[in-house]
Amino acid sequence: MSRPLTIAEISEAVRSGKMTARKITETTLDILKQQDSSIHSVTKLLAKEALAQADAIDALRSAGKPLPPLAGVPFGVKDLFDVAGHVTTAGSIVLNDTLPAKQDAPVVKRLKDGGAILVATLNMDEFAYGFATENSHYGTTFNPRDTSRMAGGSSGGSAATVAAGFLPLALGSDTNGSIRVPASLCGVWGLKPTFGRLPREGAYPFSASLDVVGPFAANLSDLATAFHVMDGTPAAPEPKISDLRIARLGGWFATNLTSSCQKALDRACDALDVKQTVELPEVAIARACSFLITAAEGGNLHLPRLRRVAAQYDPATRDRLLAGALLPADTYLQAQRFRRWFRDQVHALFREKADVLIAPSVMCEAPRRDDPTVMVDGKSVSARAYLGLYTQPLSLPGLPVLAAPLINPDGLPLGLQLVAAPGKEASLFAVARELEKSGVCGYSKPELACL
């Protein structure tokens, strides 16, 4: 068992001739074929296309031509991204009869143009509606840290395959926490970029006014590298930590934490010498509005198809979509009005008090699959409904949020959210680097074989 190779190590090995892109791709495909049955992260292997792309990269090197920055780096995508020549299922059988995609989703194309090799599509909650990656059509994804535990969702396949060391990079989507929750439970890095910053065309929609797409990686440098390739921009200079005002979110975000999560958050704040605690107003309403907007937009998107083939949906997904479609229009409008007010309050906080906010991603370690509950206000409640307790309110203003894996000496990984004003991803990377350097945040060696 070895540490998984980083993006930089893989691309340098290909560039130097130490390894061929084809060998890396073949090895990756073999690992996925032989070991993914232990966690169920993959829905489809794309071997033919992947090997053809690898051969094209090796041909460039043989011809003495410059190689792109991600040359030979294998990656996977949540099963809602368009992949040319394949039907985009969005984790459902409902779309099986639709035509194959004519082209790759823009962010997928940017990664492939950068030399990364797409090897697989990855499991998810049906139509991205859930925090569990329990899929009645494609199975449940297990947490590689402990396969008796939940991987989180809805991008659970993406987080799990990186956590297992199978792939150094995977793509997911985040509406109310679907990158941040599984990244935290599986112990990897994840990024929900600023709303609208990365193109989401070619990613099957859930909630049009909240959806974003973003990467997962085993280390922070890989995450930042992938983000900038997807963004089509050079890496922006990162500010000095000493120039950033960092504050801890209190109130809502300081309740319902397990003792291990509380201790890990304290260590992170101590490492950054955080002295200031701030609160956001009306966070409970913000979470409720995220629920309402998601339900209404998702329900109305699916309503025409539900009228025809409702029985083909996962029952849990179907019922929530139908409930959302029945919400009165004025309820949705009131939620959007509150959203504008809440966004203004958050922006004012960034202007006046802080550049980066620290909050938990989840309240505890990954729940057991045979007891999928968490404790909230002293009661045992559904994990699927409450794992987004801290992520949902922070989705509403469209902010960039970096999910950092908190090292937990007492057990499984925990999760931290670093939050900044729109467009300030560079500030998040700067703070995260300090946490990684201090040993508070990071990726632990997987128990499964890796590249």
Q: Which of 11, 41, 78, 184 is catalytic?
A: 78
- Phi/psi at 242 (5° precision): -65, -20
Within 10 angstroms of residue 428's Cβ, the number of other Cβ atoms is: 26
154 is catalytic: yes
Distance CA 237, CA 157 (A): 32
CA 320 to chain centre: 22
Half-sphere exposure of 344 (CA within 13 A, CB side): 6
Which residues have a Cβ under 8 Å from the Cβ of 290 and sit 6 or more positions away? 176, 210, 392, 393, 395, 396
- Phi/psi at 369 (5° precision): -70, -30
Nearest CA among 136, 147, 138, 128 for reference residue 185: 147
Dump the DSSP string for 194-243.
PTTTS--TTB--S-TTT-EEEEEESSHHHHHHHHHHHHTSPPPPPPPGGG
221 close to 6: Cβ distance less than 8 angstroms? yes
Dump the DSSP string for 154-181.
SSHHHHHHHHTTS-SEEEEEESSSTTHH
178 is catalytic: yes
361 close to 417: Cβ distance less than 8 angstroms? yes
DSSP 393: H
Encoding tokens for residue 266? 């304290």
Q: Which of 11, 41, 92, 154 is catalytic?
A: 154
Distance CA 378, CA 25 (A): 48
Q: Which single residue is written with the structure tokens 């200079």?
A: 237
SS3 398: coil
78 is catalytic: yes
Q: Which of 178, 184, 207, 290 is catalytic?
A: 178
Encoding tokens for residue 166? 């199978």
Which positions are catalytic?
78, 154, 178
